[in-house]
Amino acid sequence: MDRLTSMGVFVRAADLGSFTAAAVALGMSSQMVGKHVGFLETRLDAQLLRRTTRQQSLTDVGRSVYARCQAILAETEAAEALVTELATTPRGHLRVSAPVTSGA
């Protein structure tokens, strides 16, 4: 799984308070949301969310990881926006070479 995507899914699940709400917002199944969060938990070897049948809440580690994930995602979006802006804005000098007769 892609770590950045999993971070985004984790942040959305934490923001919305449920895997189901995150799944609807992200256009994926709640099982897939669970897999992304599980992937991060396995990778970090820490429980990020306390889950019950009625609610979920961030653990202490989850709160710290949540803040870092938000920062990482914001920086990623800023980098992508910068690249898009630089790619669409013309830069440099334009030199046109044409014979004198073509302008007459």
Q: What is the pTM of this model?
A: 0.80
At 37, which CATH number? 1.10.10.10
| Number of folded domains that form the chain | 1
* pLDDT of 18 over the 70 cut: yes
Q: Summarize pLDDT for 66-95 with one digit per residue, the tens.
A: 999 999 999 999 999 999 888 887 778 888
Paired tokens of 65: 């990881």
Does residue 92 form part of some domain?
Answer: no
Does residue 91 form part of some domain?
Answer: no
CA gap 28, 32 in Å, rounded: 7
- The whole domain housing 10 covers 3-86
Does residue 21 form part of some domain?
Answer: yes
Q: Summarize pLDDT for 19-51 with one digit per residue, the tens.
A: 999 999 999 999 999 999 999 999 999 999 999
* pLDDT of 104 over the 60 cut: no
Q: Summarize pLDDT for 93-103 with one digit per residue, the tens.
A: 888 887 777 55
Q: What are the phi and psi torsion angles at 44 (to 5°)?
A: -90, -10
Which amino acid, 82? L
Does residue 94 form part of some domain?
Answer: no
